[in-house]
């Protein structure tokens, strides 16, 4: 019976079989798999005999677990002349099939477009975003503890729960112009969100908020020591200290533009002020490498080291070594199944850019989003598709035959979640098994 041919095809495309052959990249892996198994938008079509008709009918109704296959099955909801799909509750969904003339310049950030839309129809009340964040936090802690009573948690679990519990959520439009929906600030343990998120459907906010919360315990975050300021301590940079830090920073980064120097220094001052004006806890930068994303931050580390020696800041916890990270098994699976870069053995190498902090946050986000949809199932098609909202860019033009980083993450990490695959009722590839 041809069903055995189908099962054999799945077997030879399994992760174990993949070890013996060189893989190209996740996008072409999906395309090749779909081609080899006769997938089209809407599901696999094969020459099964009459005895297998029930399996064939079920397969036709289920798209393969690929963002574009899932969206393509519902393309009738996305008129190509509408840049955003508007819903009765005031939320909007970005139309990835839009091919008309945009009302915005190509340089306009997505957050700024949505802020403009909010002038015409308002979004939800800020409290709804706060309530959603707290639900996400609660499910994040459930993911860490996995039903274990507080007194029975391991020391690592207690540390993760402690850090997650201390994160604060704020809506702050200073970050909107940079094009980010939200950003985790590691020195203050604050998540600052652009008010444009109030225009997003609720289910679009879930992976976004879980991602930012995940940064507090991503690969770099959980491996770093955590500090707090001593009671009633208050620190402000003197003019001499400002000049010393700025001069060293400029010497260490001679190719940076003046605007980049100014913005980096301004962000450090802002973080420092927030840190000492609250009960916040954060990561001590001198335990991270002195280069983040190609920018040498040794000048800031030196200043914080001086505060530590004066007893103005104190260590709260030691962090969790890389080898004990609860994200390790998912990371190794991504290396094996989707040829992602292997994790370095030292914090200095691991945190030299944002690759592994972003990947760690995405793994956490996929796990927590899976729990969320299990507890609060999306009902309508628009709610389900909104889960992809922040991960998707237009799939027209230059993106027609390629995935952006976030879309790749959704296909390889998020769609490894059984709960999310159930939401989309899609047929997984053998490699989508990393959660």
Cβ pair 398, 252 in contact under 8 A = no
pTM of the entire predicted model: 0.80
In whole angstroms, what is the distance from residue 177 CA to residue 263 CA? 13
- Regions in the chain scoring below 70 on pLDDT: 1-24, 30-31, 33-61, 175, 231-233, 278-294, 397
Determine the distance from the C-alpha atom of residue 10 to the mean position of all C-alpha atoms in its chain, rounded to a whole number.
Answer: 29
**The token pair that represents 67 in the structure block:** 């963002």
Tokens 């091919």 locate to 99
In whole angstroms, what is the distance from residue 399 CA to residue 422 CA? 27
Task: Specify the pLDDT at position 400.
Answer: 73
DSSP 88-136: TTS-EEE-TT--S--SS-TT--HHHHHHHHHHHS----HHHHHHHHHHH
pLDDT tens per residue across span 259-285: 878 877 887 887 787 777 766 666 655
pLDDT tens per residue across span 69-108: 898 888 888 888 899 988 888 899 899 888 888 889 988 8
Single out the residue of 221, 181, 191, 171 nearest to residue 361, CA to CA: 221
Tokens 């090749």 locate to 32
Phi then psi for 45, rounded to 5 degrees?
A: -120, 125
Cβ pair 378, 201 in contact under 8 A = no
Q: What is residue 314's three-state secondary structure? A: strand
| Strand ordering across the sheet containing 281-283 | 281-283, 226-229, 313-317
Task: Specify the pLDDT at position 292.
Answer: 55
Cβ pair 297, 290 in contact under 8 A = yes
> For residue 283, what are the β-bridge partners?
226
Task: Specify the pLDDT at position 2.
Answer: 35
Task: Specify the pLDDT at position 23.
Answer: 47
Task: Specify the pLDDT at position 42.
Answer: 37
**The token pair that represents 297 in the structure block:** 């931050």
**What does the DSSP 8-state code read for residue 177?**
G
Q: List CB contacts of 10: < 8 A, sequence separation 6 or more.
A: 430
* Residue 367: CA count within 13 A, CB half-sphere: 25
The CA angle 260-261-262, to the nearest 5 degrees, is: 90
H or E stretch at 249: helix 239-252
In whole angstroms, what is the distance from residue 217 CA to residue 364 CA? 9
**The token pair that represents 147 in the structure block:** 């039903």
**Strands 190-193 vs 84-86: parallel, antiparallel or unpaired:** unpaired
């Amino acid at each position: 019976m041809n069903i055995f041919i189908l099962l054999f095809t799945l077997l030879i495309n399994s992760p174990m079989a993949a070890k013996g052959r060189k893989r190209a990249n996740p996008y072409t892996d999906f395309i090749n798999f779909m081609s080899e198994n006769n997938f089209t938008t809407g599901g696999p079509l094969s020459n099964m005999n009459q005895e297998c008709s029930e399996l064939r009918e079920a397969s036709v109704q289920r798209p393969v677990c690929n963002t574009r296959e899932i969206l393509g099955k519902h393309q009738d909801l996305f008129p190509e002349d509408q840049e955003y799909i508007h819903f009765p509750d005031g939320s909007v969904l970005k139309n990835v099939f839009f091919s008309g003339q945009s009302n915005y310049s190509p340089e306009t950030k997505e957050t700024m477009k949505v802020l403009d839309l909010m002038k015409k129809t308002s979004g939800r009340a800020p409290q709804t975003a706060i309530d959603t964040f707290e639900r996400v936090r609660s499910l994040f802690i459930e993911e860490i503890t996995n039903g274990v009573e507080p007194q029975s948690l391991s020391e690592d679990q207690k540390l993760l729960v402690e850090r997650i519990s201390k994160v604060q959520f704020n809506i702050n439009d200073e970050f909107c112009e940079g094009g980010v929906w939200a950003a985790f600030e590691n020195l203050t343990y604050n998540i600052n969100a652009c008010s444009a998120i109030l225009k997003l459907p609720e289910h679009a906010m879930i992976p976004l908020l879980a991602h930012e919360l995940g940064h507090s315990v991503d690969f770099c975050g959980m491996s770093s020591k955590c500090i707090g300021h001593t009671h009633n301590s208050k620190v402000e940079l003197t003019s001499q200290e400002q000049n010393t830090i700025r001069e060293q920073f400029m010497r260490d980064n001679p190719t940076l533009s003046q605007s980049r120097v100014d913005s980096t220094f301004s962000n450090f001052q802002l973080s420092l002020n927030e840190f000492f004006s609250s009960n916040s806890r954060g990561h001590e930068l001198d335990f991270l490498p002195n280069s983040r994303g190609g920018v040498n931050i040794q000048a800031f580390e030196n200043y914080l080291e001086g505060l530590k020696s004066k007893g103005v800041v104190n260590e709260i916890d030691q962090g969790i070594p890389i080898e004990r990270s609860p994200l390790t098994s998912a990371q190794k699976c991504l290396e094996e199944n989707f040829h992602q870069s292997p994790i370095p053995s030292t914090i200095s190498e691991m945190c030299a850019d944002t690759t592994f902090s972003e990947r760690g946050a995405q793994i956490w986000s996929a796990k927590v989003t899976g729990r969320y949809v299990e507890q609060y199932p999306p009902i309508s098609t628009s709610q389900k598709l909104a889960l992809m909202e922040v991960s998707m860019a237009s799939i027209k033009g230059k993106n027609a035959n390629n995935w952006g980083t976030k879309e790749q993450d959704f296909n390889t990490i998020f769609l490894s979640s059984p709960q999310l695959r159930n939401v989309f009722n899609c047929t997984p590839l053998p490699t989508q098994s990393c959660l």
